[in-house]
């Protein structure tokens, strides 16, 4: 880590790679959903990167690293809990539709269209009309296919803020595309 | 959402953009820097208003207790704020939070135990001056502590802000308590503790919000 603080990219890459397995095991032990483990590990790596100047050579590395891992996985568990609660409330409401039903067929789903190899002219046009923060969120998540953690770091906002932007962007795109279909 | 880019690719990207960084100063040195600025404020107050440390103790148990409690909240709050931003110093941050919380509880207990009422604090103009000075004297050490915290890990902004807000305001109030000639315990409690500390909470939350905003615009990494 000391070498990494001096800018040694090779040492840094070796260090982070060697941490992957213990971090995955740690995140799994903490009870993070299997599908989210890799996302949380990436959040930890990004947080370690952003906080790498807070480690001092006169203090042990492991407590520093585990503190970051604990913090990021606790955030993920909270998020997971909120997500579950939201889903539970959704299924309890009479007439409530599942997210898949709400999204409709893949053709009507802007996220699916954005991840296609080529963007249609209508989608490119609709995307260009979105406010810049929403457009950026959509592009980072669906065109560049970054994880939420990476996209949030790239946009310089919190993960919740990025998700809100993506949600609004998605809704605006859906409206724009359905208006286009009606014409 | 699943991680569509592998962690190995992420690591390669982070390593590719790696830049040398200067490690943050050790916690004890950060505390010493804040203490030095506070001592400078104390010197200014001593020249400006005069200080009566012995007089404060001689005024009785309430005054002495308040002095100790303000010092406890000040030290605890600042330690909490600075330690919370350094990964691996969570135990120290927790101990500091417990100390600050004990101090706050002592202030409330003092308020409940004190005979009389807030009306005994004297005319508003008198205690308002002390209250304003407490906030004013919190600025140098508070701003410096926020600047130090901002350079540390980009997390726990709310706890950091709260700790620093309460700590800085408490140390400002401590200076006011040391220099105030008022003989009224209700004046001390109201103008040197309750009001400044009540303001320290929103100020600290505001500092935390600012740290979050500034931190997210400074740290774009991938």
Chain A environment of B8 (Cβ under 8 Å): 17, 20
Query: What's the confidence (pLDDT) of residue B117?
Result: 77
Chain A nearest-CA distance from B160, in A, is 15
How distant is the alpha carbon of residue A166 from its chain centre? 11
Q: Judge contact between B186 and B114, C-beta under 8 A.
A: yes
A172 with A143, same domain: the answer is: yes
How distant is the alpha carbon of residue B85 from its chain centre? 14
Domain edge (last residue) among A92, A119, A143: A92
- A100-104, A140-144, A162-166: segment of lowest average pLDDT: A100-104
Return the structure tokens found at B112: 């409940």
Return the structure tokens found at A125: 């046009």
* C-alpha span between B222 and B216 (Å, rounded): 13
Range of the domain at A17: 2-92
Chain B nearest-CA distance from A182, in A, is 31
Range with the largest mean pLDDT of A101-105, A112-116, B119-123? B119-123
Percent of chain A scoring above 70 in pLDDT: 78
A65 touching B (Cβ < 8 Å): yes
A42 with A76, same domain: the answer is: yes
Q: pLDDT tens digits, residue range A39-66? A: 888 889 988 998 889 988 888 888 899 9
Q: How many domains does the structure of chain A reveal?
A: 2
A43 with A11, same domain: the answer is: yes
Q: Judge contact between B40 and A72, C-beta under 8 A.
A: no
SS3 sequence of chain A? CHHHHCCCHHHHHHHHHHHHHHHHHHHHHCCCCHHHHHHHHHHHHHHHHHCHHHCCCCCCHHHHHHHHHHHHHHHHHHHHHHHHHHHHHHHHCCCCCCHHHHHCCHHHCHHHHHCCCCCCHHHHHHHHHCCHHHHHHHHHHHHCCCCHHHHHHHHCCCHHHHHHHHHHHHHHHHHHHHHHHHC
B94 touching A (Cβ < 8 Å): no
Which of A39, A63, A158 lies nearest to residue B1, judging by beta carbons?
Answer: A39
Which of A4, A38, A54 lies nearest to residue B7, judging by beta carbons?
Answer: A38
Other beta carbons less than 10 A from residue B195's beta carbon: 21
CA B145, B148, B152, B155 dihedral sign is positive
A32 with A61, same domain: the answer is: yes
Q: pLDDT tens digits, residue range B20-53? A: 888 889 999 999 999 999 999 999 888 887 777 7
A41 with A88, same domain: the answer is: yes
A54 with A108, same domain: the answer is: no
* C-alpha span between B33 and B78 (Å, rounded): 12
CATH number at residue A53: 1.10.1740.10
Give the residue from chain A lying closest to B5, CA to CA: A146
Query: What's the confidence (pLDDT) of residue B56?
Result: 76
A72 with A113, same domain: the answer is: no
User: CA B27 → CA A56, B20, B24, B77, distances in Å?
Assistant: 10, 21, 9, 14
CA B109, B76, B169, B45 dihedral sign is positive
Assign B219 to helix, strand or coil.
coil
Chain A, residues 95-134, CB within 8 A of chain B, namely: none
* C-alpha span between A153 and B58 (Å, rounded): 56
A80 with A117, same domain: the answer is: no
B87 touching A (Cβ < 8 Å): yes
A127 with A164, same domain: the answer is: yes
A80 with A107, same domain: the answer is: no
CA nearest B55: which of B205, B183, B187?
A: B183
Domain edge (last residue) among A92, A123, A152: A92
- A116-130, B112-126, B157-171: segment of lowest average pLDDT: A116-130
Confidence tier at A106 by pLDDT (50, 70, 90): very low
Indicate the Cα dihedral angle B203, B204, B208, B214, nearest 10°. 50
Range with the largest mean pLDDT of A86-90, B9-13, B23-27, B32-36? B32-36
CA nearest B222: which of A161, A141, A68, A160?
A: A141
Q: pLDDT tens digits, residue range B158-192? A: 999 999 999 999 999 999 999 888 888 899 999 99
- Contacts (Cβ under 8 Å, ≥6 apart) of B139: B168, B172
* C-alpha span between A164 and A170 (Å, rounded): 10
* C-alpha span between B131 and B123 (Å, rounded): 13
Q: Please give the helix or strand (H or E) that residue B97 lies within, else none.
A: helix B90-113
B61-72: string of b/e by CB count within 10 Å (b at 16+)? Answer: eebeebbebbeb
Domain edge (last residue) among A92, A112, A136: A92
Query: What's the confidence (pLDDT) of residue B98?
Result: 96
Assign B171 to helix, strand or coil.
helix
CATH number at residue A161: 1.10.10.10
A108 with A178, same domain: the answer is: yes
Return the structure tokens found at B83: 């330690």
Contact A47 B18 (CB under 8 A): no
Chain B, residues 15-74, CB within 8 A of chain A, namely: 15-16, 18-24, 26
* C-alpha span between B76 and B127 (Å, rounded): 25
Q: Judge contact between B106 and B69, C-beta under 8 A.
A: yes
A81 with A111, same domain: the answer is: no
Which of A10, A47, A52 lies nearest to residue B21, judging by beta carbons?
Answer: A52
Contact A4 B18 (CB under 8 A): yes
More confident residue, B146 or A72: B146
Range with the largest mean pLDDT of A13-17, A145-149, B114-118? A13-17
Which of B20, B151, B216 lies nearest to residue A6, judging by beta carbons?
Answer: B20
């Amino acid at each position: 880590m000391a070498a990494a603080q001096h800018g040694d990219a090779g040492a840094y890459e070796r260090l982070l790679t060697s941490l992957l397995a213990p971090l995955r095991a740690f995140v799994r032990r903490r009870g993070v959903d299997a599908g989210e483990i890799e996302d949380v590990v990436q959040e930890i790596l990004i947080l370690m990167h952003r906080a790498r100047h807070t480690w001092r050579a006169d203090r042990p590395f492991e407590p520093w690293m585990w503190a970051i891992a604990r913090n990021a996985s606790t955030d993920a568990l909270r998020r997971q809990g909120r997500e579950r609660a939201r889903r539970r409330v959704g299924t309890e409401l009479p007439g409530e539709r599942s997210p898949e039903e709400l999204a409709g067929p893949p053709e009507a789903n802007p996220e699916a269209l954005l991840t296609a190899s080529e963007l249609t002219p209508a989608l490119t046009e609709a995307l260009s009309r979105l406010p810049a923060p929403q457009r950026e969120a959509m592009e980072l998540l669906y065109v560049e296919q970054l994880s939420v953690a990476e996209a949030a770091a790239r946009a310089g906002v919190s993960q919740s803020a990025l998700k809100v932007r993506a949600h609004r962007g998605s809704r605006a795109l859906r409206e724009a595309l359905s208006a286009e279909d009606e014409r | 959402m699943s991680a569509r880019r592998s962690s190995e690719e992420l690591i390669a990207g982070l390593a590719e953009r790696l830049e040398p960084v200067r490690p943050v100063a050790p916690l004890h040195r950060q505390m010493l820097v804040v203490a030095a600025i506070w001592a400078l404020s104390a010197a200014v107050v001593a020249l400006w208003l005069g200080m009566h440390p012995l007089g404060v103790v001689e005024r009785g148990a309430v005054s002495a207790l308040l002095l100790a409690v303000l010092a406890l909240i000040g030290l605890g709050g600042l330690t909490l704020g600075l330690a919370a931003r350094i990964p691996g110093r969570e135990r120290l941050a927790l101990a500091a939070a417990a100390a600050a919380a004990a101090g706050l509880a002592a202030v409330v207990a003092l308020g409940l135990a004190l005979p009389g009422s807030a009306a005994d604090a004297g005319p508003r103009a008198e205690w308002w001056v002390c209250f304003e000075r407490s906030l004013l004297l919190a600025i140098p050490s508070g701003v410096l502590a926020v600047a130090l915290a901002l350079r540390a890990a980009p997390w726990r902004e709310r706890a950091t802000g709260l700790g620093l807000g309460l700590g800085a305001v408490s140390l400002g109030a401590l200076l006011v308590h040391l220099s105030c000639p008022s003989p009224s315990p209700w004046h001390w409690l109201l103008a040197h503790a309750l009001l400044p500390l009540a303001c320290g909470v929103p100020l600290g939350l505001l500092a935390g919000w600012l740290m979050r905003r500034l931190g997210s615009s400074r740290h774009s990494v991938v």
